[in-house]
Structures are given as structure tokens and as C-alpha cells.
Amino acid sequence: MALNLTRRKFLQTASLAAASAAMSGCFAKKADASAPFVRKPFTAPGSFAGTTTAVGGVCEMCFWRCQLVGKVRDGQLVKLEGNPKSIDNGQSICARGNAGVKLLYDPDRLKFPMKNVGKRGAPEWKRISWEEALDECASKLKAVVDKYGPQGIAIFPHGSSAKYPMTFFEHVVGTPNNSEASFFQCRGIRDTAYVATLDVAPGENVDMPNAKAIFLVGCHFGENVHVSHLKRYLKGLENGAKLIVVDPRFSASAAKADIWVKIKPGTDTAFLLAIMNYLVKEGKYDKKYVEEHGQGFDQFTKAIAHATPEWAAKICDIPAKQIKEVADMLAANAPSVSIHPGRHVSWHGNDFQRERSLACLTGLLGAIGVKGGFVAGKGPKSGKAGWPKPMAEHAEKYALHKLAKVHPYSPPGTPTDLIRNAAVTGKPYPIKGFVAWGQNPIQTIPDQALTIKMLQQMDFVLVCDVMPTDITMYADILLPESSYLERYDHIQKGTQWNFADPHQQFITARMPLVSPTAADHERKDSVWIVNELAKRMGYGEHIKVQSGEDMTDKILAGAEPPLSIEQLRKEDGIHVQPGVDPYGKALDVYFFSEDIAAAGFPGAPTYIPVPEPPKGFARLVYGRAPVHTFNRTMNNAWLHNEMPTNPVWLNDESAKKMGLKDGDSVMLVNQDGVKSRTSTVVKVTPGIRKDTVYMAHGYGTMNPLMTVGAGAGVDDQSLISKSAVDPETGAHGMRNNFVKFIKDGKELSIPA
């Protein structure tokens, strides 16, 4: 088979040579003869040859925001690399970062403002001018505000460029109905749980390079890739840190672990309580730290006294011995232990309690402000620029969770489910204007049918994005945005990645690496778009920045020492200055929180059981593919090529009983009868529990305009039709859905 194509090409070449010989002298190819013949070189010159280096790039293939340089030849970006001056990612960037070039030149990118002259969900696109697009967006959104009040608009933002529109709609227009995916479907629970426990949002601030033990609950580093974060993790392992990984699946991290805890999904809090109870009972905790900084410790120990290793062992389906082994390993290495707070934590609807447990465990081990523990680096100061807040109070007054007196630990914005329910029911007030900016709520939020119902009842739907996605199919007006390689819009700050190195801090601003303008498109950046909308909606007086560049310069001017874009360029894109020692800061630990108890929730961390899989079904767990950032990168030709589908992991013994082989094609159906739109292949492995199946998130987009990614793999979110809502935070839990397989039209039960 290998022969055929090559042979065809071969004969072509051979016959061409022969034909040329035969035709020589008569110049049969007139058309070619008139144009100068430029031969495409056989060998690519390499990114270093004949290129200039553009500085000031800040990646946004994901949201870790590595610092970049661009190699540019004849105005074309040929390659992205880590900025050699970076003290964060250095010259390294991940697969996605490297593939940014393919996003920039993706022929499927949105190019012009478009009007949907078909239906939402089944669009027919008509190209319109910016003038017409902006006039229509402004008048339709203004009409919603006039009829229903500012709260009648919902905004679903994601990414750097969405911050300016988000704050415009929240603070200037005055709607509280802002649903950030990064909070309500990702890390918001973690942030508010840590604030409630340690009075600080944790980020991923554990000092892994200098840890003696690293403890990961669900984090699957390697499949989840953030460059400097992984550098920290790997440095820790290189320095001999013990690694404990808690995961129902043998993840990339479990593969490097000293202890893999093959836990039953949903039961992590029981596991953590048992560890803490064991440490307390055995006296293996940091008594001094707890005495000095612990709040409500006695109530806490009483509340978790029932949580013996034997109790948890049954719930978590792991040996009691292993729970003790983990606890002993943590105690033996305390306080230099990195209890990782996690990142995507909206799993089961009982997640606030798990995150509280992680924060309490950190405190119990005294692993705060010390080498290897929970330590936040100190970045430099910078200024502020953007929208004033004339309507912030109005927004606050109409916040749905406040009106209903629910979810007091909600992250900023309004819990997604409340927005969607209000829109669908019209109660307590109608929501009739919808703005998605860089977010694809179809693949972000559980229950796609309900999300679509919400969209269908809107008076107006505006979507702005770089690429077509599922949500763009529901837009009335679709606006094309400049990519992160063509715009100013983000200030990135931080420290050197390893605190064992001399303390430094850096500040950089995203600057375009290539010109945003070209003959074949009319893309604009969000500052320009929103300012134009604001003027047309009657909010022009509040505009404080005239462009992305202006905003960036104003924020930089507030840095210490004051900086500018010009100065950053002179400094090769990144300003680096001496930093400060991050160690030594202790934090109070609210083991038992009176505030949480007063709000009607358990004051001490508590295990709340989650629904069990019905007979014949397995729990659907999802996670990251190293080459993708959710749905955002699915159309990238290079990334797609690395992992063109998302195989569904199935336990090998179960597969045998089901008669399935590795590589078999299957579809999935969930407990509500929702079937996957597409199929994927089975990955048969001993590395997963029998009650769990797993797939990478973000595949299976339904937008045919994504010519590379459409229909590739299965959309896990389509199978997550049952929402769980975390009661404290209002954030979603997305791992309480259960699936069977369909092979050759036949439903296959998954044996327990």
C-alpha cells in the first residue's frame, strides 16, 4: 500500500521529465513561461534562518500564559518559542504553545462580522459590515436593557480578551449575570473554599520543587500541561520527593507515583477525613502550628472522629492500610509537603467540602509558608485600567444567588445554573440578551438541551470568538476577534519558577507578534469592539481606554517602577527585577468555621455521598489531553494530528466480559438516554476502575465549520445531562453521569 502514492508521484516525475524532453524547444507551457518560475525549496530553511524575533508574546493556547517570542519571516509568523528571558517557562513551551502558528493561520478562523439569516443552531451566515454588526448588536442589547433592565443580559466570558467586555456588562451596563467557566465549571470552588479556610485563594501555589512529598487528588500532570507548573513538579520528583496520586485511573501522574490510590470517584473527602483523623489520633500532626494558627480545632476533631481508616476504606473502596500508609508518608515528610489544591475541581456537587479538607490537611501538617509547602510567590505591582463601576451596585442588587439567599460561597459572578434557570423560567426576572465572549457554553455547562433552550428564548444572542465553536452556531451576530498573537490585552506577572533560585519577579504585557490586519479579514480586538458597542449603547462617557495598547500602557504605568510598552520592548519583552523571599508567612486555619456553620453548612469538612452508578452503567470521568485546551484547540491541524480522537478508557476485565477489544468503535449512551452524536474507540486497560470510564474533554464538536475538529471523538459534555450543583458555591459538579456503550447498534452494559 505504501507503494501506491509514491509510485504515482514517481511516475508523474518521471513522465514530466520525459515530457519535458519531448517538448523541449517548443515551449508548450505558455502560461508558465510568462511568469517567473520560483521553485519551492526542497528543504525548509529553519525558523532561525532569515527571520526576525518579535518579543512580548504571551501565550493563550491555554491560560497559564507562558512568555513567547515569534520568529517572523516576510511578515509571516513561522515559529513560536519560549522567550529566553523568561524566568517562568524559559525557552520551553508545550505542544499547544508550539502549535499557536496553526491557530493564527487556521483557514477556518472567523474573518468577518456575520449575521445569522437562518436559525439559531442551524445558522446561515451572511457577511455584514462592522458598522451594521455593531449597530445591530447595540440596538438589540439596548432594547433588552430598556425592557428588562440591565440584569436581562447574561454574559459568558472566557480568556484575557473577555475581561474588558465582561467588566463592561457587569459594571457599566449593570448585570450580575456573569458566568465565568473558569469559576463555575472549574476552579471557583477551590478558591472560595480556601478563602473560607486559609483566607487566601490558593492558585496552584505549592512549592513542589522543594517538597519532600507531593500529594495530588485528581491532578493529572502530563495530561494537564502548564509549563512552569510541570517544571516545579518534575523538579520535586528529581529532588526525590515522594509522590502520592489519588485517582480512579492510572493517570500520567499515577504512572510516576510512589503510591497510587485507586479511589472510587466521589469519595475523596472520606479519604481525606480519614487521613486527618488518623493523624490527629496518632498525634502525627503539627501541634505547634495548629496551636498557634488553628481555629475551631476541637470542634473539627470531634466532627471527624468517626472517620477511621476502616470507615473510609469501605466508602473509597481502597485498603485501610493504604490510607494509613499515605497519612504516614505525609506526616514523615511534613511540613515540606505539597498538598495540591487542584485546578478543575467541579466534580460531584460535594466539592467545597473536599477543597476545605485539602486546606485543613495542609494546616494540620503545618505545611504553610515553609519550604515545600503552601507558599505563594510575590509578583510585582502593576496599575489598573478599564471600566469604572457606575452600575456595580445595581448588579449586586439583582444577583440571583443573593435574591434567593443561596450559595453564599459563590465565586465572583452568578452561578451558571441560576442564570440558566432564570432565563428558561423567566423567574425571578427574564434574561433575554446573551453574550458569549471566548467561551463555548455548549461544551462547558452540563445539560446541553437546557442550555440550548436558554439560548432559543433569548431576544438576542451575540458571540465573539476567534474560531467557530459550538456556541457560534447559536449567534444572531457573530464577531471575529484578533487572536492572542495579534493584540494587546494582558499583563502577566510572577516570579522565578523555583523558589530555591535567587528571588526574582517579572512583569510582561501581551504584545502582538504579527500585524492584526490583512487583506483577507476584518478581525478586531475586544477593546475596540466593546468601545464601539458602548458608544452606540449610550455608555461612551465611561470609556477610559481607547485601545488595547492604551490599556496596556496605563496598567504598565502603574507598575513599580513605572513601565511602558516601549520600555518592555527594550527589555526583550519582559521586565525582570529582584524579588522577595516568599517563605515565612503563616496563615490561620479555620478547621471549623463558624461562618460556614452559620450559613447552614457543615462547619467542619464533611463527606457527602454522591449518587451511585445504576446497574450496567459506569461513571463518566473526563480530564485533559496534553495537546488540547478544552474545545478551543480542536481544529488545530497539528494538535488534532497528535491525538485525533478521545478514546474511552475501559477496564480490561470488563472489556473481556463485554466482548470488546482495544480499538473497537463505540458510541455512548447515558442514564437519561442521551446518546453521543459521534463514536470513538475503546482503550482497554488495567489502569482504570471497573465502575469508571474516562475520556479526554473537549472533543466531538458539532460545528461543521471546524473542518478539522468537527465530529472527531465524542463530546463528553453531551453525556453530562444531569447537573449537580455544589450547595455552598453554586458551581457545577459534572461527574455524576453514568454511561453504557453502544456497539453495532446494540447497548452494552458495563459490568460492575
Partner 1 sequence: MIIDLDKCVGCHACAIACRAEWEVPVGKDSADRERKRNFVKRLGPSNTPHGLSSTYYPALCNHCDKPACVDVCPADKVEVTFKDAKTGATKTMAVAATWKDPFNGTVQIDKERCLGCGACADACPYDARYVNEDGDEPKADKCTFCVERVAEGLEPACVQTCLARARIFGDLSDPNSEVAKYVKKGAARLESAKVKIGPNVRYYGNKKDMHLLTSTCTPQAMPQANLRRTIMARMMKPAMEQVKGLGLLGLAGAVVVKGLSEDEKE
> Interface residues for partner 1 in 260-289 (CB under 8 A)?
260
CA 153 to chain centre: 24
Tell me the three state secondary structure of residue 665. strand
Of the candidate residues 296, 626, 709, 730, the single one contacting partner 1 (CB under 8 A): 626
- Between 223 and 325, name the residue whose CB sits nearer to partner 1: 223
**Alpha helix positions (H), 239-349:** 268-281, 287-293, 297-303, 309-316, 320-333
Smallest distance, Å, CB 6 to partner 1? 4
500 binds partner 1 (CB under 8 A): no
20 binds partner 1 (CB under 8 A): yes
Smallest distance, Å, CB 253 to partner 1? 9
Angle of CA points 265, 267, 272, to nearest 5°: 125
86 binds partner 1 (CB under 8 A): no
Binding segment for partner 1 among 42-50, 184-192, 316-324, 544-552 (CB under 8 A)? 42-50
Smallest distance, Å, CB 578 to partner 1? 25
Using CB under 8 A as the binding rule, the residues of this chain from 638 to 667 that contact partner 1 are 638-643
Termini Cα distance of the chain: 43
CA dist 438 and 460 (Å) reads 17
- Between 26 and 519, name the residue whose CB sits nearer to partner 1: 26
30 binds partner 1 (CB under 8 A): no
Nearest Cα to Cα of residue 510 among 579, 571, 574, 439: 574
Smallest distance, Å, CB 204 to partner 1? 15
Distances from the Cα of 598 to the Cα of 358, 595, 711, angstroms: 21, 5, 49
Binding segment for partner 1 among 92-100, 159-167, 562-570, 597-605 (CB under 8 A)? 92-100
Residue 183 is given by DSSP the state I
- Between 94 and 555, name the residue whose CB sits nearer to partner 1: 94
Binding segment for partner 1 among 171-179, 310-318, 600-608, 633-641 (CB under 8 A)? 633-641
Smallest distance, Å, CB 646 to partner 1? 12
- Between 46 and 540, name the residue whose CB sits nearer to partner 1: 46
Residue 378: exposure state from Cβ atoms within 10 A (0-12, 13-18, ≥19): middle
How is residue 550 written as a grid cell?
492604551
Using CB under 8 A as the binding rule, the residues of this chain from 169 to 228 that contact partner 1 are 221-223, 225, 227
Nearest Cα to Cα of residue 115 among 533, 455, 477, 460: 477
Nearest Cα to Cα of residue 351 among 631, 650, 79, 735: 735
Of the candidate residues 231, 242, 407, 493, the single one contacting partner 1 (CB under 8 A): 231
Binding segment for partner 1 among 118-126, 234-242, 340-348, 714-722 (CB under 8 A)? 234-242
Of the candidate residues 64, 250, 506, 590, the single one contacting partner 1 (CB under 8 A): 250
Residue 186: exposure state from Cβ atoms within 10 A (0-12, 13-18, ≥19): buried
Smallest distance, Å, CB 574 to partner 1? 18
- Between 21 and 519, name the residue whose CB sits nearer to partner 1: 21
Backbone angles phi, psi at 239, to 5 degrees: -80, 0
255 binds partner 1 (CB under 8 A): yes
- Between 175 and 635, name the residue whose CB sits nearer to partner 1: 635
Backbone angles phi, psi at 640, to 5 degrees: -55, -40
